[in-house]
Amino acid sequence: MNKTAIFIFSDPKNGGEEALGRAFNGLAAAYDIKQSGGEVSVTFQGAGTRWASLITQADHPLHGLYNLVKGNVVGVSCGCADVFGAAEEAKACGFEVISENPVPGTSGLASFGKLLKFGTTILTF
C-alpha cells in the first residue's frame, strides 16, 4: 500500500453539519488506512485549521476519533492558520505548524508537491 495524505479543508465555523461530516470522514479514512497497515498522514489546511482547537476538547463529537489517529496528524498549514486566525490556538493545542511550501506573501504552507513527488495519494475533505 502506498502512502496516503489526507487534507481536511472543511470550515467548522461556517460549514455546519457538512463540515463536521467532512472532517469526520477524513479522520475515519485515516483510521481505516492506519488499521489496514497503510501509511497515512492528516493535515488541516485552509479554514480546516480551525478544527485544531475543537477536536482536542474532550466533549467534541470528533475527539474520540481524533485520539485514534492523533499520531498521524502532522499539523496545520501555517499560512492558512494565520489567515483563518487559528495559529495560536493550534499551537496551544499541540499542533505543529507546517511551512514547507514557501509561497510568497505567506508564512508558508503544507506542500502538495513534496507528497506527489514521492507518489503519495492525496485525499481532500
Task: Output DSSP code: residue 101.
Answer: B
Task: Work out whether strand 121-124 and strand 73-77 pair parallel, antiparallel, or are unpaired.
Answer: unpaired
How large a percentage of the chain has pLDDT more than 70?
99
**63-66 CB contacts, 8 Å cutoff, 24+ apart:** 65/24, 65/27, 65/28, 65/31, 66/27
- Give the mean pLDDT of the chain: 95
**CATH 3.40.1260.10 at 4-124, yes or no:** yes
Q: What is the pLDDT of residue 125?
A: 97
Domain boundaries, the chain: 4-124
Residues 6 or more apart in contact with residue 5 via CB below 8 angstroms: 40, 41, 42, 43, 115, 120, 121, 122, 123
pLDDT of 1 higher than 70: no
State the virtual CA torsion across 43, 44, 45, 51 in degrees, nearest 10.
180
CA distance 67 to 71: 8
pTM of the model: 0.94
Write out the three cell numbers for 106.
505567506
